Every structure is written in C-alpha cells, then in structure tokens.
Amino acid sequence: MSNRSGPAFAVTHKVRDNCLCLHLQRAARAVGRRFDAALRPLGLTNGQFSLLMSLNRPVAPSIGSVAALLAMDRTTLTANLKPLERRGLVEVTVDAADKRGRRLSLTRAGQALLARAVPVWKRTHAAFERVVAGSGADRLRNDLRALS
C-alpha cells in the first residue's frame, strides 16, 4: 500500500494545467531566454535592455518610479543598476532638490548601446508577435497589464 499523504493526482493536474502563475513564470523564462540570446552580442540581457529603455527619456527619473514602471522591487532595481553603472552605461546622481532621492540617466555610451539594440529587439519581438497573432497580441498585453 502506498500510504500517501499528498494531494490527489487529479488536484495536481488541475493546478498544473490552470495555474496562471506557473504559466506566467514559464512564458517569462522562455521568452526572456530568447531575448537574452538575441541581445547577447551586445552584452545585454532582456532585463537590462528594458531598464535602459525605461531610462531613455528627457527627464531623469527616480529609482522608485522606475521600479514601479517595471513592477519590480526597489531593492532589485538598485541591484540591477550596479553592473550597468560599472560598465558606464548608466549614471546615478543624488537629486539636488531632495537629497534622499536618486536620478537615473543614460550615459552617451548607454544611449549608443541602446540604439544598437533596437533593431535586435524589433526582429526578436516580431517573431513573438506572430506567435500570438491569431489570438490578438493587444488583448494579451492588456491581460498582462491587468495582472501587474
């Protein structure tokens, strides 16, 4: 006799097939890996690309606002900035008007690298758009935004 104390296998199948969290993590990993591979010649990961892109704006944003934009913990963003700072792609300066705050900006090198990454993004992204074209990429984006 088996003497099991776990949930019934039927419950497990239900969870595995329906869990939105698992489906999200799986897709995020898989898509992230593909972008990582495409961006590797530039020495960027998908997360670094998104972060640099979110800093490409006329007014240098704060850490908290970028963290909220990326739906990421503030302390994660602080950590993610470190390698980009070391490579001279990003600059972190104290906000003159509020010395608690930091202002995040791209260096010229960061801007140049980001510009080189854009065509890579376009090619890679187009492939994924095609994958969900039948169901509607806009609806998918709306769902993902609603979950964030």
Partner DNA sequence: ACCGATTACGTTGATATCAATATATTTGGC
Partner DNA sequence: GCCAAATATATTGATATCAACGTAATCGGT
The answer to whether 72 contacts DNA (rule: CB under 7 A) is: yes
d(CA 94, CA 98): 8
Check residue 3 and give left, alpha or beta (phi > 0: left; psi -120 to 50: alpha): left
Using CB distances below 5 to 8 A depending on partner kind, what does residue 53 bind out of its own copies, DNA, none? its own copies
Minimum Å gap between C-beta 130 and its own copies is 10
The answer to whether 73 contacts DNA (rule: CB under 7 A) is: yes
Query: For DNA, which residue of 19, 22, 69, 79 counts as binding (CB under 7 A)?
Result: 79
Query: For DNA, which residue of 38, 80, 90, 106 counts as binding (CB under 7 A)?
Result: 80
Q: Point out which span in 12-20, 77-85, 91-99 binds its own copies (CB under 8 A).
A: 12-20
The answer to whether 80 contacts its own copies (rule: CB under 8 A) is: no
C-alpha angle with apex 86: 37 to 112, nearest 5 degrees? Answer: 60
Count of residues engaged in binding DNA, rule: CB under 7 A:
32
Contact between 55 and 105 (Cβ < 8 Å) = yes
Cβ neighbors of 92 (< 8 A, separation 6 or more) are: 81, 85, 102, 103, 104
d(CA 82, CA 51): 12
Residues in the chain: 148
d(CA 56, CA 41): 21
Q: In 3D, which of 147, 28, 53, 145 has the Cα closest to residue 104?
A: 53
The answer to whether 29 contacts its own copies (rule: CB under 8 A) is: yes
The answer to whether 41 contacts DNA (rule: CB under 7 A) is: no
- Site for its own copies, rule CB under 8 A: 3-7, 9, 11-12, 15-16, 18-33, 35, 46-47, 50, 53-54, 56-58, 70-73, 106, 108, 110-112, 114-115, 118, 121, 125, 128-129, 131-132, 135, 137, 139-148
